[in-house]
């Protein structure tokens, strides 16, 4: 039986990766965020913000790697697998920066469905920027709207994880499954 695929989504600096790390520490199987590593690799080659300089190429890399994670998860002997972002994040971000994207991006989202999606809302208290995470809190608010729009468009019901202590958020997620 294939494991249940659970996605944590939200704009930058909403606590997704912290929750993924906490879930891993509890022994849960988790698929890590990919975009940060793609950005770091590009910076090593002199490209400061690959997503802004070549959004389609960046997004194609994400698409390929997230599809790979999706297929890898199906082979795992686990009841549940958690993902730090999902495929619809890609089209949400491309739409946010007003970049046209082709049918393969839509098809990937339609053909690779997750079982549950938890959304982490903007949380000013923990928002910070760094070399890979450059969005202001105001931009984060808009990105959040695009994520909601696209996940709803692909038929997902989003479960909001309220701001709070990591353990409280983890318990909420696990009790909601």
pLDDT in tens, 7-66: 999 988 888 989 999 999 999 999 999 887 888 787 888 777 777 778 898 899 999 999
DSSP string, 26-85: TT-EEEPP-HHHHHHHHHHTT-S-HHHHSHHHHHHHHHHHHHHHHHHHHTS--SEEEEES
**CATH H-level, domain 4-176: superfamily:** P-loop containing nucleotide triphosphate hydrolases (3.40.50.300)
Q: Is the pLDDT of residue 127 over 70?
A: no
- Give residue 171's pLDDT: 98
Statement: the pTM of the whole predicted model exceeds 0.85: yes
Q: Is the pLDDT of residue 124 over 90?
A: no
Q: Is the pLDDT of residue 123 over 70?
A: yes
Q: Domain residues of the chain, as ranges?
A: 4-176
Cβ burial 50-87 (10 Å sphere, 16+ → b, else e): bbeeebeebbbbbbeebeebbeebeeeeeebbbbbbbb
């Amino acid at each position: 039986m294939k494991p249940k695929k659970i996605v944590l989504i939200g704009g930058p600096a909403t606590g997704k990766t912290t929750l993924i790390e906490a879930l891993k520490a509890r022994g849960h199987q988790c698929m890590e965020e990919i975009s940060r590593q793609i950005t770091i690799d590009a910076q090593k080659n002199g490209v400061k913000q690959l997503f802004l300089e070549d959004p389609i190429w960046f997004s194609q890399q994400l698409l390929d790697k997230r599809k790979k994670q999706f297929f890898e998860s199906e082979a795992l002997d686990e009841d549940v697998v958690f993902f730090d972002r999902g495929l619809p994040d890609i089209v949400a971000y491309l739409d946010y920066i007003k970049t046209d994207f082709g049918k393969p991006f839509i098809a990937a989202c339609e053909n690779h469905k997750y079982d549950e999606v938890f959304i982490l809302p903007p949380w000013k208290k923990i928002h910070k920027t760094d070399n890979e995470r450059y969005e202001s809190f105001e931009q984060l608010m808009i990105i959040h709207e695009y994520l909601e729009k696209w996940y709803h468009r692909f038929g997902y019901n989003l479960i909001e994880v309220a701001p709070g202590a990591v353990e409280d958020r983890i318990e909420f997620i696990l009790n909601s499954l």
